Structure formats: C-alpha cells, structure tokens
Amino acid sequence: MRLLPPALCASPGPARRGGVTPGLSVKAPMEMWSTSSSEKFYRIPEGKGPHSVGCTDLMTENAVEGSFLRLYYPAYDATDTEEARWIPDKEYYQGLSDFLNMYRVVGERLFHYYVGSVTCPAKSNAAFKPGEKYPLLVFSHGLGAFRTIYSAICIEMASQGFIVAAVEHRDESASATYYCKRRSVSESQEESTPNVEKEWIYYRKLKTGEEERCLRHKQVQQRAQECIKALNLILKVNSGEEVTNVLHSDFDWNSLKDSVDTSRIAVMGHSFGGATVIESLSKEIRFRCGIALDVWMLPVGDDIYQNSVQQPLLFINSEKFQWAENILKIKKLISNDTNKKMITIKGSVHQSFPDFTFVSGGIIARFFKLKGEIDPNEAIDISNHASLAFLQKHLSLKKDFDRWDSLVDGIGPNVIPGTNIDTSPAEPE
C-alpha cells in the first residue's frame, strides 16, 4: 500500500493512503474563495512587525540549474507601490489543476475566477530598507506548491526584520515552475518579441510501479542543493557582486549590499519543505538552525539519523495531519537533544500553514481541510511566534521574541508539547 505524499492539499489520517483530497472541487460553490471588496476577511494577513514588507523575484542563468526565488524584505513604506500578485502566472493554475487531477481548462477558470485578483500584503519591488544587518531565512515549499503561497509566513518574518528567500524548487515537486531560455535568432527577429521565453516544468506524478521513497529522496537532495544555492546567491548579492536577474525587475539589488547578517542564517519549510530543512541542515553548517512545519519524513535519508544534523531544530506540527510512523522518525531525530523540540498546534490541519487557509470561505474550506477547528490567524500566529522565539535563541538575536519562549516548550493556549499522536506499540489482539 503506497503512502500518499502529504502535499499542498493532502488529507489527514487514513484517507491519506487512498488519494489526495483536492483543495477545491470542480463543483465548488461561489463561497469557496472570495476576492470581492465587501469580504476583506478573506485576505492574507499583513505582517505584524515594525517593518513594511517588499518582495521581488530573482532568477539566475538561462537554465534549469539556476536559482529561482521570491525575496521578502524590510522595505520603505511605499504607498504608491502595488501589492504583489499572489499567483503570478496562469501556468500555476494549470499545474495546480494537474496536481489536483482536474481538467486544466476547468481548473484554470476556477482558480482565475476565485483567486486571480488576490494579492499578498507585500509591495512589489519596493525599495529595500537598509541601515542594519538582517538575519537571513531560506524557505522551502511543500509538494505541489511554489514560491508564493507561503506569503503569510514569509511576510511576517520580513516584517520582524528578516530577509526571506522563498525558493521555487525545480525537482518536479512544484505544481509548476519555469526557467528562462533564450529564443533562437529567427524567433526573436521582431523587436517586439522578447529574446527570452519561459520554459515551464510541471509536477511529475509517480509512474506505475515506481517506488515513492526513492523518487522523493532523490528530489529532496536536489531541493537541499537549491536551498544552498539560494543562500550562496544572497550572500553574493550581500558582498556586492554583480548578479544578473533574467526577470529584469526594477528592484535595485545593489541596495542589499552589506545588509545580511552572515552569522545568522536559518532554513525553514513546510511538509516536503520540512524534509528539505533536515537535508539542508545536514549538508550546510552555515544554516545555524532549522524549523520544520508539519514535516513529511519519508524523503529523509537513513544516514540523517546517524547524528548528521547537529544544529537546533524545531518541529511545529498540526494536530490533524501527523501519524505514528512519521512521529517516530521525528523522535528518532530529536533523540534527547535539548536543542531539538517538537510542538503541536491544537485544532490545526496540514493546510494551516500555506496561504490557501486565508483565502477560502468557511464550509467548503473545512470540508476540504483547508481550515482546521482553530481560527487560521491564531494558528499562524502561534507558528510564527514559536518560530521567532526559537530563532532568537539560536541565532542570538537582540529582539523581544523571547516573550514567546513558552510556546517553544508547548506551553500556552492551543499548543501542546510534543505530539498528540499515540506512538506506543499496539497491544496484541
């Protein structure tokens, strides 16, 4: 029996072994997502820290081996700058449709209708706010996701004084991604035609008879390398080296020079991205600590459990997603290390971490597990506050995030230490 990957829209519990529960239905009623001005409740939350937040995209090299990321950063307050589009290209709708086993023509229309005008509360290409050295956080998305749909987390971290590099993985685990390739001379002869074009890479489903663990382990190796590439790229920018952005945005990358605190770097991710966090820590000591949100442990290699992750590590789990086998692997990795901790958010689901939980209406969202029993804003606040407290301690930050230290120990409303999952051996019948 194959374990279905806990992806962008995976269902919790036993149903996980039967198939993916999609994040929307072809027959989804009108309240599924709301973008009308009269219903501002359905909006990705703004950052609560002292900084305004900007975001910009960076892609290097005209090849699949290059880096692709969205950068969230402290910015000057720019009232004349537009917020960034949440899902920037229609091809992402097509990829999500493939991932959710929907006809592309249906999925694209539904996504465009319900979320096509959704923006995230970060100003597109806003001027970077220099003046201090900011810690760097590299973020890894889940299976079937992409760089923009964890914006609530990334924006909060940037508002609290982090530079956040949200990587878009090209290991065929994203629902869609792309790289830019140059057109041939004949194709770009007309002046109105750009000399580069997007080459799209869509999510690859398992082939018949293919062993999932082998594929996912291979993918997580590439994902970890992409996180390390992103780290190296931002450090290049920080050192003042010239970096070519093939996306040609108006953002001034030179403004980032000497603004990264190179001694304070961490890695964070959700689900498959949580496994990527573990692999990245094992391969790159410059990541001083990591945070794994509702981690999926299947892709993690056996060698990782042999003391190859020395850095502090925080596991933040949802109540409804985890299962005994996965928790036992987490416990094996923690193994009495006081710098490795696990907490669980009561009433939360796997989708309490990506942005879909904020832009979906009530009944349908609950039915498709996009919302848990806890208010989405409260759940993400708990996760963000615990993360900030953990980062303060292990990056030696001079902030006031230690006021949330109790959350890291699982103490407080709607949070418990460790897990709600019973991992004791089953009694023989």
Dump pLDDT digits (tens) for 256-275: 999 999 999 999 999 999 99
Whole-number Å distance between alpha carbons of 204 and 201: 9
25 among known catalytic residues: no
Task: For residue range 206-260, list pLDDT tens digits in order.
Answer: 999 999 999 999 999 999 999 999 999 999 999 999 999 999 889 999 999 999 9
Q: Which of 97, 271, 280, 360 is catalytic?
A: 271
Q: Kindly report the average pLDDT of the chain as a whole number.
A: 87
Distance CA 153, CA 354 (A): 8
Separation CA 16–CA 9 (nearest Å): 10
Enter the tokens of residue 36. Answer: 């009308």
One-character DSSP codes across 379-417: HHHHHHHHHHHHHHHHHT--SSGGGGHHHHTT-STTEEE
What pLDDT sits at residue 253? 96
What is the rounded distance in angstroms from the CA atom of residue 309 to the CA atom of residue 338? 13
**Residue 21 confidence (pLDDT):** 32
Residue 294 catalytic? yes
Distance CA 273, CA 140 (A): 5
State yes or no: pLDDT of 299 exceeds 50. yes
CATH 3.40.50.1820 fits 13-417, yes or no: yes
Tokens encoding 156 = 């909060």
User: pLDDT tens-digit profile of 70-84?
Assistant: 999 999 987 778 999
pLDDT band at 362 (very low <50, low <70, confident <90, very high): low
Q: What is the pLDDT of residue 142?
A: 98
Per-residue pLDDT tens digits for 109-129: 988 888 888 999 999 999 999
Task: Say which residue, 149 or 368, is predicted with more confidence.
Answer: 149
Residues 78-112 as b or e (16 or more Cβ within 10 Å = b) = eeebebbebbebebbbbbbbbbbebeeeebbebbe
Question: What is the pLDDT, as a whole number, of residue 176?
Answer: 97
Phi, psi of 199 (to 5 degrees): -105, 115
Overall average pLDDT of the 196-210 stretch: 93
Q: Could you give the percent of the chain with pLDDT greater than 70? A: 85
Measured CA angle at 338 (ends 334, 343), to 5 deg = 65
Q: Higher confidence at residue 145 or residue 424?
A: 145
pLDDT digits (tens, 9 = 90+) for 139-188: 999 999 999 999 999 999 999 999 999 999 999 999 999 999 877 666 55
Q: Could you give the CA distance from residue 201 to residue 179 in angstroms, rounded to a whole number?
A: 8
pLDDT digits (tens, 9 = 90+) for 15-58: 333 333 333 333 333 344 444 433 444 799 999 999 999 999 99
List the catalytic residue out of 57, 98, 171, 294.
294
Residues whose CB falls within 8 Å of the CB of residue 167, separated by 6 or more in sequence, listed in order: 67, 68, 69, 138, 139, 140, 141, 147, 223, 226, 227, 230
381 is catalytic: no
Does residue 11 register a pLDDT over 60?
Answer: no
Could you tell me which residue, 42 or 94, shows the higher pLDDT?
Answer: 94
